[in-house]
């Protein structure tokens, strides 16, 4: 006896072994006894996927606190509390708590993907053991058990089939193939792709037709679905480009602030003459001023609005930062079945008596027609009759959405019959079925005997073209008359359709007398007349074709990764308009490549066929290694690891598996690839609005910081206190900046190339604008302070005026920042949007409370301002807007004068 193979060894090629050899290797010559089962359960464990360790709430909370900016703010809380400044400490702590809670609420969804896969294992199984046939919990199965399969069963373990009768299994969750796969007991070649292992039934797949019997070869984590579960558990999600940038920005800014604070503290001790305690609180104020505490709030609000916009476009976003990542996507790797195609078989072509006809329509929908040469209408009707009558499927249209009962390919033939003018609702009653020969994987055809009400009998046959052609002695001409069969012509026609990636079937007929009521194989040996052939395909979505064109215009490469055959994948790719669709790489070719070769190939090839979950994951990693931002779409369990690894994982919500939905960060409720192009557009708008938000907020912090540094180094009184700075940063700034999240996308947003993953938020014009406006705000703050002191000689009044002047400058700067690259003093710019006007009104109200209500005056050390002082503040804001308008005009003129 050979060495017993452990179910933990999922690499054993059971499909290449005969059924008898498998039983010998598993020491299971017959049904297992109770003692055998007990021993094997102890050795191999139950037929269940292992539970992964889940992170608890405390661990998730700890992740949120691992942020350098948070460390700086917590240090400021501790120091201000130690010095007895409890209000300052409380406000800073509130900022930390709010930011941490927002992140905590958004975390912790990905682990559910493993749980979703566990639910796909069959709860019950029909097993033959020493005591006879019995039904038991699928978790009790062991290698060596004998399992029976029937239509509707979910396969309970990986099974080596021994006997089959017209057995077909839907393996879409593992391979992505839209058609159910025919199964047979014969072994296949070693190193066969998963979709070609026809003698194995895989755990979690569904029996559609026929029956089978086999021996369990793998259970639990060793099954194909268990292997994917392990792959998913070991796959790490990447940080989104935005989070990477924000981390770098926060760390760099915090370190800069700390260094500057220490330097200014010692410089102040040496030059300012301020007492130690007062100087220390001033440096704390500087720290608070320099760190944009409101930025996390603006980031969250902008992303949340993007999430809401996406929901209107039938897309559910499960991780908010992914909205922005969509705007950076440079490559979309899409599954074929159900995403780019409808996952609905359809007759697209028929060839009759030398004429080719194209069939139009969408999937199982009855809308559509047949176009081609005129003159063959009668023969086309006969073709429709054969397609509808030699058919066991049923289409249900009552719910408004076609529902298929039976084989998808037969359902496609029913729809074709309708387009060929056959009444599929009542036509069958006019040709009642008397007898039939069911389809069998060995004979590879189906035949029915039908009678009409006028004494005519007809045998209809459909099946594999080579088999039906061999059975026919004649063919029908356009006038429905029998002529000699042209074998060469039909063999070429079949080859042409197959080269287009179509599944080909032939249909034939034979007229018999009314007295014939029984059908036997011998009745088909002579007299059959070929009607024609049909080509079937899971057709591309029309909206997907348009969306791919939009993606190409936006500089985004679309790649198709499928478990289907290479020829079919290439044909679909050409219909979709994918670039470089002539070359198709298979999973076997990918397995033979090292990482360097794969990186070169993946940059050029756009179509990948017969791929495994490992292949898909490797392709995503290779594209990311080329600095691409990768979106991966899919609907099967086989897609889950790649969905989790991709920068943006997009699952189908209607026909997608629960495992795919849980691994993804975006779920499309309409399973429509076109929604992805809309999502990219929304993502680009979100990023643009975030840049506007940063360009708006950072000058406020810059102006505050520089004014404090200037005051400290020159030994002046601080124009704005730390608590007043927090008021500006967390209240007025946030309310105004929030409006930028509602800005609509720019008209040409989908005509621009995707931005690089490494692109910095602060670069070029945005960095210049931040510096320039910071200096304007610095000038405004000190102008207000000195004017207030000169006019009223009151520090509280001067400080209150400085705060109100800063807020007024913010309000007018908001109108400028909405149009970073164009004029802002226009009718549309001045009027703004309803959201902008509401925000301005809200800030005016808040500043009135800050300035005139006693509680606010006591808390923030503010005082009531005169009309004259309010006019000064508003005038400073108007001046900022005018200066920025002049700066924009000069910059645009300089840019227009530069050649190229």
Tell me the catalytic residues: 335
Q: At what angle do helices 764-792 and 674-714 cross, to 10 degrees?
A: 40
The rounded distance, in Å, linking the Cα atoms of 257 and 86 is: 23
Residue 378 is encoded by which pair of tokens? 């009668």
- The one-character DSSP state at 673 is T
The rounded distance, in Å, linking the Cα atoms of 669 and 635 is: 12
- The one-character DSSP state at 313 is T
Residue 690 is encoded by which pair of tokens? 């975030």
CA distances from 638 to 336, 385, 730 (A): 13, 39, 46
The rounded distance, in Å, linking the Cα atoms of 629 and 107 is: 22
The rounded distance, in Å, linking the Cα atoms of 200 and 222 is: 14
Which single residue is written with the structure tokens 């005018």? 882
Per DSSP (E only), the strands in 411-523 are 432-437, 445-451, 456-463, 472-476, 482-484, 503-513
Among 246, 70, 74, 98, residue whose Cα is nearest residue 693: 246
What are the φ/ψ torsions at residue 362 (nearest 5 degrees)?
-130, 110
Pair 307, 319: CB distance under 8 Å:
no
SS3 of 135, please?
strand
> CA quadruple 680, 686, 692, 698: dihedral positive or negative?
negative
The rounded distance, in Å, linking the Cα atoms of 71 and 800 is: 31
Burial class (CB in 10 A: 0-12, 13-18, 19+), 827: exposed
CA distances from 740 to 155, 689, 700 (A): 53, 6, 16
Pair 651, 664: CB distance under 8 Å:
yes
Mark 629-639 as b/e (b = at least 16 C-beta within 10 Å): bbbbbbbbbbb
Which single residue is written with the structure tokens 């939905």? 661
SS3 of 337, please?
helix
The rounded distance, in Å, linking the Cα atoms of 395 and 414 is: 8
N-term to C-term CA, the chain = 79
Among 818, 832, 831, 809, residue whose Cα is nearest residue 882: 809
The rounded distance, in Å, linking the Cα atoms of 562 and 337 is: 7
């Amino acid at each position: 006896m050979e060495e017993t193979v452990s179910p933990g060894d999922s690499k054993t090629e059971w499909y290449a072994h005969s059924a008898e050899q498998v039983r010998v290797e598993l020491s299971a010559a017959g049904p297992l006894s109770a003692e055998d089962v007990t021993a094997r359960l102890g050795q191999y464990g139950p037929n269940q996927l292992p539970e992964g360790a889940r992170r608890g709430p405390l661990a998730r909370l700890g992740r949120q606190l691992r942020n350098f900016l948070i460390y700086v703010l917590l240090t400021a809380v501790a120091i201000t509390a130690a010095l007895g400044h409890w209000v300052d400490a409380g406000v800073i702590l509130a900022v930390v708590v709010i930011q941490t809670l927002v992140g905590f609420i958004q975390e912790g969804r990905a682990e559910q993907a493993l749980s979703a896969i566990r639910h796909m294992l069959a709860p019950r199984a029909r097993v033959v053991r020493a005591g006879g046939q019995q039904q038991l919990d699928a978790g009790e199965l062991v290698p060596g058990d004998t399992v029976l399969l029937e239509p509707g069963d979910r396969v309970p373990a990986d099974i080596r089939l021994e006997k089959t009768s017209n057995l077909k299994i839907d393996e879409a969750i593992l391979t992505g193939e839209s058609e159910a796969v025919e199964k047979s007991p014969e072994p296949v070649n070693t190193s066969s792709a998963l979709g070609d292992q026809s003698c194995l039934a895989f755990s979690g797949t569904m029996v559609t037709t026929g029956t089978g019997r086999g021996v369990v070869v793998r259970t639990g984590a060793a099954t194909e679905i268990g292997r994917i579960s392990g792959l998913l558990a070991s796959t790490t999600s990447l940080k989104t480009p935005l989070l990477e940038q924000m981390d770098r920005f926060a760390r760099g800014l915090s370190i800069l602030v700390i260094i500057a604070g220490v330097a200014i503290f010692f410089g102040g001790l040496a030059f300012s003459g301020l007492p130690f305690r007062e100087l220390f609180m001033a440096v704390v104020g500087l720290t608070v001023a320099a760190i944009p505490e409101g930025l996390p709030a603006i980031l969250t609000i902008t992303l949340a609005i993007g999430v809401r916009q996406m929901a209107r476009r039938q897309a559910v976003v499960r991780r908010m930062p992914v909205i922005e990542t969509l705007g950076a996507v440079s490559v979309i790797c899409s599954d074929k079945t159900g995403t780019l195609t409808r996952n609905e078989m359809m007759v697209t072509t028929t060839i009759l008596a030398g004429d080719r006809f194209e069939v139009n329509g969408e999937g199982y929908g009855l809308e559509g027609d047949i176009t081609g040469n005129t003159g063959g209408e009668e023969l086309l009707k006969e073709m429709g009759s054969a397609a509808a009558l030699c058919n066991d499927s049923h289409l249900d249209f009552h719910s408004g959405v076609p529902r298929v009962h039976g084989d998808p390919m037969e359902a496609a033939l029913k729809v074709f019959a309708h387009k060929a003018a056959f009444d599929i609702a009542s036509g069958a009653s006019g040709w009642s079925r008397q007898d039939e020969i069911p389809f069998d994987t060995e004979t590879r055809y189906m035949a029915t005997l039908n009678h009409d009400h006028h004494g005519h009998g007809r045998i209809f046959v459909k099946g594999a073209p080579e088999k039906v052609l061999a059975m026919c002695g004649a063919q029908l001409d356009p006038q429905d008359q029998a002529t000699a069969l042209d074998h060469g012509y039909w063999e070429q026609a079949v080859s042409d359709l197959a080269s287009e990636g179509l599944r080909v079937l032939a249909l034939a007929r034979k007229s018999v007398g009314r007295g014939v009521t029984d059908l036997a194989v011998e009745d088909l040996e002579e007299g059959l007349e070929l009607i024609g052939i049909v080509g079937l395909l899971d057709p591309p979505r029309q909206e997907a074709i348009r969306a791919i064109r939009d993606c190409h215009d936006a500089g985004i490469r679309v790649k198709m990764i499928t478990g289907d055959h290479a020829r079919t994948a290439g044909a679909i790719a050409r219909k979709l308009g994918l670039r470089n669709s002539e070359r198709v790489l298979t999973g076997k070719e990918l397995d033979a490549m090292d990482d360097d070769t794969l990186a070169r190939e993946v940059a050029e090839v756009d179509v990948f066929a017969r791929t495994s979950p490992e292949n898909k994951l490797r392709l995503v990693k290779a594209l990311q290694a080329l600095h691409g931002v990768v979106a991966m779409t899919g609907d099967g369990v086989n897609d889950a690891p790649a969905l989790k690894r991709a920068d943006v994982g997009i699952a189908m919500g209607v026909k997608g598996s629960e495992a795919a939905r849980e691994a993804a960060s975006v779920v499309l409720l309409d399973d429509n690839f076109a929604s992805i192009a809309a999502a990219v557009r929304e993502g680009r708008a979100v990023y643009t609005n975030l840049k506007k938000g940063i360009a708006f907020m950072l000058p406020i912090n810059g102006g505050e910081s520089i004014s404090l540094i200037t005051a400290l180094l020159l030994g002046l009184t601080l124009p704005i206190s730390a608590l007043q700075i927090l008021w500006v940063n967390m209240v007025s700034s946030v309310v105004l900046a929030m409006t930028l999240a509602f800005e609509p996308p720019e008209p040409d947003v989908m005509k621009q190339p995707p931005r690089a993953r490494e692109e910095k938020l602060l670069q070029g014009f945005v960095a210049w604008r931040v510096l320039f406006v910071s200096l304007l705000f610095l000038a405004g703050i000190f102008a207000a302070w000195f004017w207030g002191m000169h006019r009223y000689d009151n520090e509280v009044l001067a400080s209150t005026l400085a705060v109100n002047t800063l807020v007024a400058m913010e309000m007018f700067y908001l109108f400028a920042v909405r149009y970073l690259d164009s004029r802002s003093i226009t009718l549309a710019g001045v009027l703004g949007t309803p959201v902008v006007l509401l925000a301005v009104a809200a800030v005016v109200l808040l500043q009135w409370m800050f300035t005139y209500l006693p509680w606010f005056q006591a808390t923030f050390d503010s005082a009531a301002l005169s009309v004259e002082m309010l006019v000064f503040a508003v005038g400073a804001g108007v001046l900022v807007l005018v200066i920025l308008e002049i700066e924009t005009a000069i910059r645009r003129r300089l840019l227009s004068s530069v050649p190229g």
